[in-house]
C-alpha cells in the first residue's frame, strides 16, 4: 500500500483525497504544503481554495521549504482563492449548483494548467468543509459529487479537508461514511492512507 506522503506527492489524475482534522490543524497544513509543494516541484499548476488562515500558513510552509512563493504566484502556477467567498459564488438558493461550480473553478484550473511547465494541475479545497461545519451535510455531499464531475473532465487530483475530530466530536457516523465514500483516499493518520476504491 502506498503511503499517504507518497500519494500526496504523486496523486493520479482524478484522485479525490480527504483529510479530517480537529482543533489542531498543523498536520493538515503540513500535508497541504506537501501536496502543493510536490506539484510545484513537478512543474504543475496548483489551485488552492482555502480559508485565509490556512492559505497564510500554507504560504509560510512553502516558503520555508524553499519555494519562491512570489514567483509562482506571479507566474500563475499557484492560484489562491478564498474558500468562503468562492463557496458563495457556487451556491444557488443556498445549494451548490453544477453550472456555478464550473463557472467558478474550470477557468482557474485551466489557467493553472496553462501556466504549468508539465501541462498538469492539482487542487486543494475547503468549500465542502465549510458546508459541513455549518451543518449543511447534504450540500457538502452534493458539492463533492459536482467536484467529481469536474475532476473527470479536467484530469485534476483534488485534496479536500473537513474540520471533524473523528475521535472527539464525530456526531454523524452515516454522514462521515458518505463523505469517505465520496473520495478515493482518506488520510487515517500521519502516515496512513486508506484507499476507498476496490
pLDDT (mean) for 13-41: 93
Q: Quick: pLDDT tens for 181-191.
A: 889 888 855 44
Average pLDDT of the residues of the chain: 89
pLDDT at residue 190, rounded to an integer: 47
Q: Quick: pLDDT tens for 99-121.
A: 999 999 999 999 999 999 999 99
Output the nine-digit C-alpha cell for 125: 479545497
Number of structural domains (the chain) is 1
Cβ-Cβ contacts under 8 Å for 192 (sequence gap 6 or more): 3, 4
Exposure string over 84-121, b if 16+ CB within 10 A, otherwise e: eebbeebbeeeebbeebbeebbeebbebbbebbeeebb
Taking 70 as the threshold, does the pLDDT of residue 166 lie above it? no
Determine the Cα–Cα distance for residues 143 and 121; give it in Å rounded to an integer. 20
Taking 70 as the threshold, does the pLDDT of residue 165 lie above it? no
Domain containing residue 86: CATH number: 3.40.50.300
Range of the domain at 172: 4-195
Determine the Cα–Cα distance for residues 109 and 145; give it in Å rounded to an integer. 17
pLDDT (mean) for 133-137: 92
The gap from C-alpha 104 to its chain's centroid, in whole angstroms, comes to 15
The predicted model scores a pTM of 0.90
Backbone angles phi, psi at 191, to 5 degrees: -130, 0
Q: Quick: pLDDT tens for 71-108.
A: 999 999 999 999 999 999 999 999 999 999 999 999 99
Amino acid at each position: 500500500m502506498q503511503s499517504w506522503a507518497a500519494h500526496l506527492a504523486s496523486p493520479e489524475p482524478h484522485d479525490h483525497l480527504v483529510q479530517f482534522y480537529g482543533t489542531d490543524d498543523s498536520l493538515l497544513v503540513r500535508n497541504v504544503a506537501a501536496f502543493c509543494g510536490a506539484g510545484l516541484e513537478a512543474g504543475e499548476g496548483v489551485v488552492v481554495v482555502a480559508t485565509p488562515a490556512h492559505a497564510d500558513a500554507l504560504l509560510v510552509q512553502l516558503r520555508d521549504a524553499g519555494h519562491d512563493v512570489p514567483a509562482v504566484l506571479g507566474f500563475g502556477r499557484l492560484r489562491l482563492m478564498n474558500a468562503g467567498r468562492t463557496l458563495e459564488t457556487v451556491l444557488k438558493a443556498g445549494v451548490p449548483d453544477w453550472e456555478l461550480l464550473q463557472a467558478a473553478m474550470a477557468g482557474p484550473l485551466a489557467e493553472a494548467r496553462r501556466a504549468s511547465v508539465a501541462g498538469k494541475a492539482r487542487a486543494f479545497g475547503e468549500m465542502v468543509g465549510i458546508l459541513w461545519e455549518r451543518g449543511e451535510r447534504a450540500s457538502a455531499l452534493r458539492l463533492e459529487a459536482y467536484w467529481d464531475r469536474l475532476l473527470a473532465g479536467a484530469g485534476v487530483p483534488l485534496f479536500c479537508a473537513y474540520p471533524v475530530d473523528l475521535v472527539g466530536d464525530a456526531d454523524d457516523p452515516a454522514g462521515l461514511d458518505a463523505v469517505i465514500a465520496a473520495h478515493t483516499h482518506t488520510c487515517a493518520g500521519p502516515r496512513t492512507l486508506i484507499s476507498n476504491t476496490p
